Amino acid sequence: MEQDYGELDEYAALQKYITTYRDPKAAAEEDPEAAAADVHKGKPWWAFWRSGSSPKAAAGDPGAVPAEWLTAHITEGIGHADVEPRRKRFGYNEITTEKESMFKKFLGYFMGPILWVMEIAALLAFGLRDWVDAGVICGILILNAAVGWYQEKSAQDVVDSLKGDIAMKATVVRDGQEEDILARELVPGDIIIIEEGQSVPGDARLICGYDSPDDFQKFKDLREKDEFADASDPDNEKKDDSEEDGEGEVQHEGHSIIATDQSAITGESLAVDKYMGDVVYYTTGCKRGKAYAVVITSAKHSFVGRTASLVSGAQDQGHFKAIMNNIGITLLVLVMFWILLAWIGGFFRHLKIATPEDSSINLLHYALILLIVGVPVGLPVVTTTTLAVGAAYLAQQKAIVQKLTAIESLAGVDVLCSDKTGTLTANQLSIREPFVSEGEDANWMMAVAALASSHNIKSLDPIDKVTILTLKRYPKARDILRQKWKTQKFTPFDPVSKRITAIVTLDGDTYTCAKGAPKAVLALTDCSQETADLFRDKSAEFARRGFRSLGVAYKKNDGPWILLGLLSMFDPPREDTAQTIVEAQHLGVPVKMLTGDAIAIAKETCKMLALGTKVYNSQKLIHGGLSGTTQHDLVERADGFAEVFPEHKYQVVEMLQQRGHLTAMTGDGVNDAPSLKKSDCGIAVEGASEAAQAAADIVFLAPGLSTIVLAIKTSRQIFQRMKAYIQYRIALCLHLEIYLVTSMIIINETIRVELIVFIALFADLATVAVAYDNAHSEQRPVEWQLPKIWIISVVLGCLLALATWIIRGTLFLPNGGIVQNFGSVQEILFLEVALTENWLIFVTRGGKTLPSWQLIGAILGVDALATVFACFGWLSGGLYETNPPTTFVQRQDGWVDIVTVVVVWAYSIGVTIVIAIVYYLLNRITALDNMGRKDRTNKNPKIENILASLAQYSLEHDTGADGKGNYRLVPRAVEEEEDE
């Protein structure tokens, strides 16, 4: 592109040439913006690898945006007509996993080790020309896939319908108007407004402060000179002190405009100051300030989006997936073991590999039978369905589960850390009668407090909101504000100064108004000792009564600061909070309160909420001389911490996790986001900021904390359903493996493969309804106790096998034993196995709740079908020659008389009762009940002390004389305690 230098003088033209020159040979690599501008301008037919159509279009950076797109004016923005073409090019501004077609998702239900074994069994049945068996096996696979696909889709639809309520929002300038839209609708070049409490809706370059639009010209000048830092890496903002002469150091223009929390992408716990021209990154939280910015790329090509794409192929399903794989692989190994035993027995009986074709007494049929009974094809579908149905139920209760595995985590949580304001309390501040310093006017004090407040009505801080609204009670203060005030500068609250200041002018005089923590405001003034003591006493009195107090002061021109008094604010606990905390404690989940309020207010709130009063100042945690084990002990025994910063919350959660606790964290603010992300189950409460919602695993849309008790109970019920099904399914596999292999070896008999596939089908049909069962909720945190699960399942499987052998043994009697009039060995065994196996789910689910009508209906339906099979001798096949021989005369057509069916039903009921008694007794054994439980107080003093010692050092990087980088451990700088 030719540059126009005609109107520039000699040196100006030279400067522009130096700034704008690009080597044509390296244009594609060095100037992706210019290359991006050439897209769709035509390309050679052979250049199929290029990302655009022009020979100059870059193939390497599809996210590069043409420079002319980023030049919109801050008060005009882009036009609505420009939106659609840009969206067609870059897509919606959101990070989404690639949309999987419904057909592909359905096919996914045929993938996995367990399912592959069943597919091998189907192929084996086709090879043996057992068309009925092959058809039923395929039917089982298709049925499981269809049920799982439909249930998961239905559950996901419910969750998706509510997720719109927590979608990220953005304020954008288009056609000269400020609009509130969904963040996904942004396009590159949009002018957006970023302010405190919001998540940044896309990678954007800061232009200027919202209250300083005149700085836009300065921004344009800097952009023209190409003086902005690279936007691709947040770490570029960090200054490299090892560089000499300032080389490599990022140069900032003017003062910090906003501050953002980048802990999720850079690991920095403190907010990062952002200056004109700096890039703010998608999904990071704005913690201070308000500014204009221009979106520089879409979410897919943002820093977070590119990072997400690197791991998009890794669909990690966490601990639950590992448990399922463990069980599945163990069952597969057991199947191989039993097949080996059956084949060894078959070799001694001189069985053929695949003949006779019309009999199940050959080696391949043995393998087919054991593959069908030993692999629980419904295990992946039932467990996934149970989680999905549970997530849909929670969604109906206004709790959005953003990760399915969070349900399992919440079921095991044993410590709940909770923010106070807006979570435990109603976040509805009201100002009581203020304390006014002697000689001062209450109306003037309220006016000064209102002047020292944010005036952005759209996003008022709760304290500023109540301060302004309280003026309804002070009409004279409102009259003061009606005068011709002008705000020159407004400095929002920050944790360091602990106050808000505003510089305002009236009639040529300059007033500096301050509002903030009593100690911070008192430190500004030079009042008498008597006034200061009275001020402190009043502040302490307010705190003892559970009030939050704010000091108010001002100075006129260059005069001294004048202390006006104290505002007393009260944030009452929510009506349901005390009951919620008691219920949580009964569930084995103690609550620890983490608040930024003074310790006196924190203790008073704890008393109101029936929490313990072992509340400590954060200074005791950080600067109290504690480290290692003693510091961890303090965190474990504390009921809460006061005057905490975000890093303190993060540290408390981390220490509890190091002790082996599964920790949940609730919060609503930007400052809660790091600890929400760190916890095992982060919960954003109703009204939470976008940053908190993005960091959380579960988002509550209903007010208060009461939903968490429902969520804990529901997650434990879901866990109970899955555990009951897994115990049931393992026992079923072992039952038939043990019985069939022993009968193959001892009497050269098996249950025909046609009947076996229906037993497998019935087992899955009956238990799909487990997802809707009325499970009970444990009174303590739950966890996978695999040793206990396996021991109980093995015992139940052995009892079922013994019961089947007993009924088989009676059939060797001359009169047929259990047979009353006539019958068939195959059908009687089929009916007994089907009944006892189906009813086992009633045992493993426990007796603390009545089963749901869905579960009872499914099982009774299957039992009725099995009974019809037995009565009419379906698929009974020919008679077996056993050794020893069966002496009673069987019906050739396999029919079983109704009286014998009733006896089998009665016998099966008796077996189920015996198994239920054994199951109850097994769960009463203390040693077995605690087997496999994780140590929730994993105290390791040596490791904790070593880590505490290492925490005193930091890793420092420098460059040696040889130009090579070196890393070394150096002592950390000692942080000075604030003297307040």
Number of domains forming the structure of the chain: 5
Output the pLDDT for position 309: 56
CA distances from 830 to 7, 754, 908 (A): 97, 10, 12
Mean pLDDT value across residues 63-84: 88
The residue out of 276, 309, 342 marking a domain boundary is 309
Which residue, chain included where needed, has tokens 């490599």?
A: 248
Output the pLDDT for position 751: 92
Q: Which two tokens stand for residue 778?
A: 């444990």
Which residue, chain included where needed, has tokens 């940053």?
A: 691
Residue 103 belongs to some domain of the structure: no
341 versus 528: the higher-pLDDT residue is 341
Are 114 and 380 in contact by the 8 Å Cβ rule? The answer is: yes
Are residues 374 and 413 located together in one domain of the fold?
A: no
Residue 16 belongs to some domain of the structure: no
Mean pLDDT value across residues 196-205: 87
Output the pLDDT for position 907: 97
Give the confidence band of 622 by pLDDT, cuts at 50, 70, 90. Answer: low
Residue 774's Cβ-count burial label (10 Å; 0-12, 13-18, 19+) is middle
Are residues 662 and 762 located together in one domain of the fold?
A: no
- Does the pLDDT at position 7 exceed 60? no
Given its phi and psi angles, is residue 512 left (phi above 0), alpha (psi -120 to 50 degrees) or beta? Answer: beta
Are residues 634 and 749 located together in one domain of the fold?
A: no
Residue 726 belongs to some domain of the structure: yes
- Does the pLDDT at position 53 exceed 60? no
The verdict on whether 9 is a catalytic residue reads no
Residue 475 belongs to some domain of the structure: yes
- Identify the CATH number of the domain in which residue 199 sits: 2.70.150.10
Which residue, chain included where needed, has tokens 């997530």?
A: 391
Which residue, chain included where needed, has tokens 């590069």?
A: 64
Per-residue pLDDT tens for 201-260? 989 999 999 888 888 989 988 888 777 766 555 655 544 444 444 444 455 667 788 888
Give the confidence band of 825 by pLDDT, cuts at 50, 70, 90. Answer: very high
Residue 142 belongs to some domain of the structure: no
Are 328 and 378 in contact by the 8 Å Cβ rule? The answer is: no
Mean pLDDT value across residues 191-206: 89
Are 854 and 862 in contact by the 8 Å Cβ rule? The answer is: no
- Does the pLDDT at position 452 exceed 80? yes
- Does the pLDDT at position 645 exceed 70? yes
Output the pLDDT for position 59: 43
Mean pLDDT value across residues 933-957: 63
Q: What ranges in 349-415 are assigned the alpha helix state H?
A: 363-374, 379-396, 405-412
The Cα–Cα gap between 482 and 721 comes to: 65
- Catalytic entry in 419, 697, 764, 863: 419
Cα angle at 896 between 890 and 898, to 5 degrees? 145
Give the confidence band of 627 by pLDDT, cuts at 50, 70, 90. Answer: low
- pTM (global) more than 0.75: no
Give the confidence band of 931 by pLDDT, cuts at 50, 70, 90. Answer: confident
- Closest by CA position to 423, among listed 777, 696, 713, 634: 696
- Does the pLDDT at position 36 exceed 50? yes
Q: What ranges in 550-627 are assigned the alpha helix state H?
A: 577-586, 599-608, 618-623
Output the pLDDT for position 902: 96
Residue 71 belongs to some domain of the structure: no
Residue 900's Cβ-count burial label (10 Å; 0-12, 13-18, 19+) is buried
Strands 290-295 and 204-209: antiparallel
539 versus 255: the higher-pLDDT residue is 539
Give the confidence band of 77 by pLDDT, cuts at 50, 70, 90. Answer: very high
The Cα–Cα gap between 299 and 305 comes to: 6
Are 449 and 550 in contact by the 8 Å Cβ rule? The answer is: yes
Are residues 846 and 697 located together in one domain of the fold?
A: no
Q: Provide the β-strand partners of residue 954.
A: 970
- Closest by CA position to 756, among listed 301, 28, 118: 118
- Does the pLDDT at position 2 exceed 80? no
Q: Among the ranges 274-288, 695-709, 834-848, which has the highest mean pLDDT value?
A: 834-848
Are residues 456 and 485 located together in one domain of the fold?
A: yes
Angle of helix 753-767 relative to helix 131-163, nearest 10 degrees, comes to: 10
Q: For residue 414, give every residue at least 6 positions away whose Cβ sits within 8 Å of its Cβ, in sequence order, or none.
A: 588, 589, 590, 661, 662, 663, 780, 781, 936
Residue 538 belongs to some domain of the structure: yes
The residue out of 552, 570, 588 marking a domain boundary is 570
Q: Among the ranges 684-698, 774-788, 905-919, which has the highest mean pLDDT value?
A: 905-919
- Identify the CATH number of the domain in which residue 729 sits: 1.20.1110.10
699 SS3 class: strand
- Does the pLDDT at position 40 exceed 60? no
Output the pLDDT for position 379: 78
Output the pLDDT for position 449: 92
Are 954 and 970 in contact by the 8 Å Cβ rule? The answer is: yes
The residue out of 672, 701, 730 marking a domain boundary is 701
Are 380 and 320 in contact by the 8 Å Cβ rule? The answer is: no
First to last CA, the chain: 62
Mean pLDDT value across residues 460-483: 84
Task: Please say whether the dihedral angle defined by the alpha carbons of residues 32, 37, 39 and 41, taken in this order, is positive or negative.
Answer: negative
Residue 515 belongs to some domain of the structure: yes
Are residues 821 and 804 located together in one domain of the fold?
A: yes
Output the pLDDT for position 829: 95
Per-residue pLDDT tens for 590-619? 999 988 777 878 888 888 887 888 888 877
Mean pLDDT value across residues 112-120: 80
Output the pLDDT for position 800: 97
Output the pLDDT for position 600: 79
- Does the pLDDT at position 60 exceed 90? no
Are residues 757 and 890 located together in one domain of the fold?
A: yes
- Does the pLDDT at position 407 exceed 50? yes
Domain range for 840 is 319-392+712-930
- Identify the CATH number of the domain in which residue 456 sits: 3.40.1110.10
The Cα–Cα gap between 634 and 944 comes to: 13
Are residues 764 and 913 located together in one domain of the fold?
A: yes
The string of DSSP letters for 235-268 reads GGGS--TTSGGGTTPPP--SS--EEEE-HHHH--
Are residues 304 and 334 located together in one domain of the fold?
A: no
Q: For residue 232, give every residue at least 6 positions away whose Cβ sits within 8 Å of its Cβ, in sequence order, or none.
A: 303
Are residues 340 and 382 located together in one domain of the fold?
A: yes
Q: What is the mean pLDDT of the chain?
A: 80
* Strand intervals (E) in 183-247: 191-195, 204-209
Output the pLDDT for position 165: 62
- Does the pLDDT at position 706 exceed 60? yes
Per-residue pLDDT tens for 253-265? 677 888 887 765 6
Output the pLDDT for position 293: 95
Q: For residue 587, give every residue at least 6 positions away whose Cβ sits within 8 Å of its Cβ, in sequence order, or none.
A: 709, 712, 713, 777, 779, 780, 781
Give the confidence band of 870 by pLDDT, cuts at 50, 70, 90. Answer: very high
Mean pLDDT value across residues 958-980: 56
Are residues 724 and 861 located together in one domain of the fold?
A: yes
- Identify the CATH number of the domain in which residue 677 sits: 3.40.50.1000
Are residues 897 and 967 located together in one domain of the fold?
A: no
Give the confidence band of 17 by pLDDT, cuts at 50, 70, 90. Answer: very low
- Does the pLDDT at position 43 exceed 80? no
State which amino acid sits at residue 874. W
Output the pLDDT for position 915: 97
Residue 509's Cβ-count burial label (10 Å; 0-12, 13-18, 19+) is exposed
Output the pLDDT for position 734: 95
Mean pLDDT value across residues 447-470: 80
Output the pLDDT for position 229: 64
Q: Residue 212: what are its φ and ψ, rounded to 5°? A: -130, 60
Per-residue pLDDT tens for 297-350? 988 888 777 755 544 433 444 567 677 778 888 888 899 999 999 999 999 888
- Closest by CA position to 616, among listed 586, 652, 659, 655: 652
358 versus 718: the higher-pLDDT residue is 718
